[in-house]
Chains A and B, each alone.
Chain A
Amino acid sequence: GAVVSQHPSRVICKSGTSVKIECRSLDFQATTMFWYRQFPKQSLMLMATSNEGSKATYEQGVEKDKFLINHASLTLSTLTVTSAHPEDSSFYICSARSGVQGARETQYFGPGTRLLVL
């Protein structure tokens, strides 16, 4: 299957600081990338859809000014958690999808980034 990488895999930061997480599709071009958040023992919660060359689409309840998404190229999307607080501590996972919209498109996931805000 396709390979998606994330960096960093783990980050610890102080409350009030900003953290950037990178998501890369290594062997295919991803016109669309997705950012999920997962709390312990829960399913994946979609935060936003990242579109190459345009603004991200955020799910209801997700603050776009707090979770900044940039999809600068067909292989890179970044999520910046601004002014992080302890309640933002979570497992952040990106996924990438390629192909023509409407056709079958499998989402491939990155390995996730564990964020701990002290």
Chain B
Amino acid sequence: GENVGLHLPTLSVQEGDNSIINCAYSNSASDYFIWYKQESGKGPQFIIDIRSNMDKRQGQRVTVLLNKTVKHLSLQIAATQPGDSAVYFCAENIKGRRALTFGSGTRLQVQP
């Protein structure tokens, strides 16, 4: 079934610092991963994705790292800004399933 987080872990960083948000996934058959950003009262917004045949992918101020050995995914945000404050979810595409499977989410708080 879907992951449901009862209490969102929170990462608090200072403006300008780099942020690293981690995610552990469970299924070795997952072939595609996405990071979403969700601001309060809004739907999830696509940030960056990565296929399982890659280890790293970079976007504007964001980098996603994938370690298939330990089933770990991370999102790095460079020079974090107050506008980055939100809840971040990782999602995995498990082969054979049509819907993405979501992680429990991490709240990022950026202190000005």
A contacts, CB < 8 Å to B: 1, 4, 6, 32, 34, 41-46, 49, 59-60, 91, 93, 95, 97, 101, 104-112, 114
Contacts and interface: CB of A to CB of B under 8 A. Distances in A.
Interface string B44-72: 11100101000000000000000000000
Interface in B28-44: 32, 34, 36, 41-44
Given A42-B5, A45-B2, A104-B32, A111 B42 contact: yes
Nearest to A51: B98
Contacts of B99: 34, 46, 49, 107
Interface of B: 1-8, 32, 34, 36, 41-46, 49, 51, 89, 91, 93, 98-100, 102-105
B46 A1 contact: yes
A60 B103 CA distance: 18
B21 to A, nearest CB: 14
Contacts of B6: 41-42
A97 to B, nearest CB: 7
B100 A107 contact: yes
Given A32-B98, A109-B44, 18 more contacts: A6-B43, A34-B98, A41-B6, A41-B7, A42-B6, A43-B89, A43-B105, A44-B44, A44-B102, A93-B43, A93-B44, A97-B98, A101-B98, A104-B49, A106-B34, A106-B49, A107-B91, A114-B41
Contact of A108 (B4, B46, B93): B46
Interface centre among B6, B45, B98 (most CB of A within 10 A): B98
Nearest to A48: B99
